[in-house]
């Protein structure tokens, strides 16, 4: 994944968007305007003052879409997708993600898009989200989260949140289209020193795909 991310960020550096800053949001994000190849002006917000745009068919319809790199760091690159619909570009929605598709990976043969955020400890802390296209919407069908474990400790006069630096909470959830509900495929509390859980998490995440 690190090799893939390095290549992805290199592409971003080679393809300047030439977008114009037209304002700022209340939380400090830049508001950009970009004129696409069809003459359409596309507006988007980004942490980056000089964002980059790539062209790639991300929804597998045979036409190139626009990908805006809205934030790039040492481990994570976040993208917004503008997919071609008729003669216009439409920004795709991605419910469940706070800020763009992270370190994306495409699976054209299955029609799927993977977002994979590295949150620390060489990727042991992470969030994976698997999406299927429904029109211009990215519909989440799988989510796996590995994070430091915590729990509430109750006392007679209240409670406190206790966090653990050496224990992880790992959860994989799958969307069941038949019941229209999320189901838990894996939930474990594991030691940070024990990496055996990673194979179980991956198996649960990809089961049935």
Torsions phi, psi for 195 (to 5 deg): -95, 5
Q: What is the pLDDT of residue 162?
A: 67
**In the predicted model, what is the mean pLDDT of residues 201-206?**
97
Is pTM beyond 0.75 here?
A: yes
Distances 173 to 1, 71, 131, 170, 179 between C-alpha atoms, Å:
22, 27, 13, 10, 14
Distances 192 to 104, 120, 153, 163 between C-alpha atoms, Å:
26, 12, 21, 13
Cα–Cα distance for residue pair 45/51, rounded to 1 Å:
10
- Parallel, antiparallel or unpaired: strands 52-56 and 125-134: unpaired
**In the predicted model, what is the mean pLDDT of residues 12-39?**
81
Cα–Cα distance for residue pair 170/149, rounded to 1 Å:
9
What rounded mean pLDDT belongs to the chain?
Answer: 88
Q: What is the pLDDT of residue 122?
A: 84
Residue 7 has pLDDT above 90, yes or no: no
| 111-151 pLDDT per residue, tens | 999 999 999 888 899 999 999 999 999 999 999 999 998 76
């Amino acid at each position: 994944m690190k090799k893939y991310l390095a290549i992805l960020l290199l592409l971003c550096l080679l393809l300047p968007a030439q977008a114009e800053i037209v304002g700022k949001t209340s939380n400090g994000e830049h508001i950009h305007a970009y004129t696409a190849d069809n003459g359409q002006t596309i507006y988007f917000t980004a942490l980056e003052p000089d964002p980059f745009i790539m062209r790639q068919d991300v929804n597998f319809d045979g036409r190139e879409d626009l990908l805006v790199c809205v934030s790039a760091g040492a481990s994570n690159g976040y993208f917004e997708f503008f997919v071609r619909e008729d003669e216009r570009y439409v920004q795709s929605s991605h419910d469940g993600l706070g800020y763009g598709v992270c370190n994306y990976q495409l699976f054209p043969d299955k029609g799927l898009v993977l977002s994979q955020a590295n949150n620390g400890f060489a990727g042991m802390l992470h969030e994976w989200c698997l999406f299927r296209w429904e029109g211009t919407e990215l519909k989440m069908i799988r989510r796996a989260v590995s994070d430091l474990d915590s729990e509430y400790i109750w006392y007679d006069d209240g409670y406190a949140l206790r966090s653990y630096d050496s224990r992880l909470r790992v959860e994989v959830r799958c969307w069941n289209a038949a019941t229209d509900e999320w189901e838990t495929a894996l939930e474990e509390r594991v030691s940070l020193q024990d990496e055996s859980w990673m194979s179980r998490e991956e198996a649960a995440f990809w089961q049935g795909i």
